[in-house]
Amino acid sequence: MLPAVQRKFAGHNMLGFFAWVPRWWLVKATTLKPRPQCLPPCNSSMAGDDGSVVRWLYLSLYNWVTFFGWLQVLYHAILALLGGGHEAVYAAVKLPLLFSQTAAIAEIPHSIIGLVRSPISATLPQVCGRILVTWYIVWSFPETQSHVLVTSLVLSWSITEVIRYSFFGLKEAFGITPFWLLWLRYSTFTVLYPIGLISEVGLIFTAMPHMKVSELKKPEAHVAQAQLLNWVTSLTYLGNNFNLQGRSFYICAGLTSLYIPGFPYLYRYMLAQRKKVLSKAKTA
């Protein structure tokens, strides 16, 4: 399991920069007085007060940095899969995967303060589920890292996110959305999202027997794992005031049950978005 209780969680403070800008934006949005509407020559994405410029710069930077992170994940996953089989995939993508997926935590405050249009009801469960699988399941339990489901998980996530972040990167930075990229953004999820979800649930079930072993035979390692699980669940306000040590197996079983109602809700939401966006693009 984990080598020592003192091991630092590499992604715990990774998002200091990404967390600062949303807070700045919220303060500006609630304190600045309205200013006159920009004249026609102004770019609409930069119109208005200084906060609009900061929003444009921040979201452009965020989307492109995260895009290149996921592009590295996809590139190294394909090379490892071709060169050493599925057992070699996780070792090849570990660092860019941890960075890129942890960076998605910033999307929660993005949604809460209205920096983006995604509703928090769709953003929160997806981000927290991925963080749980990335850090507590795959990173914490080496027994899962050579599983074939890691490959399907990494490929489905990385393909989806390379398309998504390039789409929003072009939209935010340059104000362009090519139709072929728009179609990929709102179509590939129909196949990749179920593959990713099945991979997530399968890896959780793969790790669960090892949680019991960790609790009984390696209590020091389990303390660190419980602390990590407490941090992950605190994102959903489930674990702030609870000691999760000795309860990891049951917590994961409970969280996994949330996939049952969560999958239909998110899938229907994305299908509705696909119909709305593509119909609008065709009539434009």
Catalytic annotation, pick one of 75, 193, 259, 267: 193
d(CA 203, CA 110) in angstroms, rounded, equals 29
Dist. CA 87–CA 104, nearest whole Å = 26
Query: Considering 107, 161, 172, 200, which one is annotated as catalytic?
Result: 200
Report which of 88, 139, 131, 141 is spatially closest to residue 106, judged by C-alpha positions. 131
| Vertex 122 angle, CA 248 and 109, to 5° | 85
Q: Is 75 a catalytic residue?
A: no
Asked whether 232 and 135 are in contact (CB, 8 A), the reply is: yes
Tokens of 156: 């489905």
What's the token pair of residue 89? 């995939």
Helix (H/G/I), strand (E/B), else coil: 284? coil
Task: Give yes or no: 220 in active site.
Answer: no
Residues marked as catalytic: 193, 200
